[in-house]
Amino acid sequence: MAQRILFGWHAVEALLEHHPERVVRIQFQQGRDDRRRKHVRALAESFGVAMEECHRRTLDELTDSENHQGIVARVKPAPEVREADLLDRLESSGKPPFLLVLDGVTDPHNLGACLRTADAAGVDALIVPKDHSAPLNGVAIKVASGAAESVPVVRVTNLARFMRQCRELGVWFTGTTGDTDATIYDLDLSGPIGLVMGAEGEGMRRLTREHCDQLGNLPMAGMVSSLNVSVATGICLFEARRQRLIAS
């Protein structure tokens, strides 16, 4: 299985703490010697992870970025959670599922930010279509700040079919759109739900929208007409979390 590049202190530290067996080698930028570096080095040493000191230029070339924060790790990819596996988990979990669906979000920064918020809100899994969606690459993992190790990203071949299968398990899908009078605060988000967020500009695809059980918008009070998808996702997820805490 091919290794991948992971960078950023949050992402590398989270992987060491939760799945150290996946970390093959850590490369540090020369010249840094603060408390966080010492902590990460101690973790790596305790798990027998190889380490080396590198010039910053080496890390820039490895990541195609200058935002690596001075740490790069070569890691084994996480075991893939397949569509069938997720459906089995949802059926046997014994608790109301809480899913996030991103339909057509292609920016890795947005994927990473949505993952981070999904983890904070208690989402069970993030679902994306196999085509026309952002890759879970080093940029997305860095932005996720460790959430990529706790929230599985499941790529499904046919999103509409997946939604139908989830509905048979009692999951109701809530779509977000500006073309409705109901706000997200008017909707019941307390039970087994899947929140569906569309791409910026285009929104949800027609077929995805047709498979939603209810639709809501974010009421905008100012001059702007829309929000970045990761910001909108955070607002909606935490409204769902608020309702679920009240109902529990």
DSSP 55: -
pLDDT at 1 (0 to 100): 57
Domain with residue 25: its CATH number is: 3.30.1330.30
The answer to whether the beta carbons of residues 8 and 145 sit under 8 Å apart is yes
Assigned token pair, 118:
């999904």
pLDDT at 142 (0 to 100): 82
Find tokens 């599922």 and name the residue. Answer: 97
Distance CA(67)–CA(59), nearest Å, equals 10
Cα 5 vs. chain centroid, distance in angstroms? 17
Find tokens 């993992």 and name the residue. Answer: 141
Find tokens 């739900």 and name the residue. Answer: 193
pLDDT band (50, 70, 90) for residue 64: confident
What percent of the chain clears pLDDT 90, i.e. is strictly above it? 65
- For residue 61, the one-letter residue type is E
The answer to whether residues 190 and 233 belong to one domain is: yes
pLDDT band (50, 70, 90) for residue 66: low
The total number of structural domains in the chain stands at 2
- Per residue in 116-132, pLDDT tens? 999 999 999 999 999 88
The answer to whether residues 68 and 103 belong to one domain is: no
The domain of 26 spans 4-75
Which of 14-18, 65-69, 172-176 is predicted least confidently? 65-69
Distance CA(155)–CA(151), nearest Å, equals 13
The predicted model scores a pTM of 0.81
- Per residue in 185-212, pLDDT tens? 999 999 999 999 998 777 899 999 999 9
Q: Which of 44, 204, 216, 195 is nearest to 125 (CA)?
A: 195
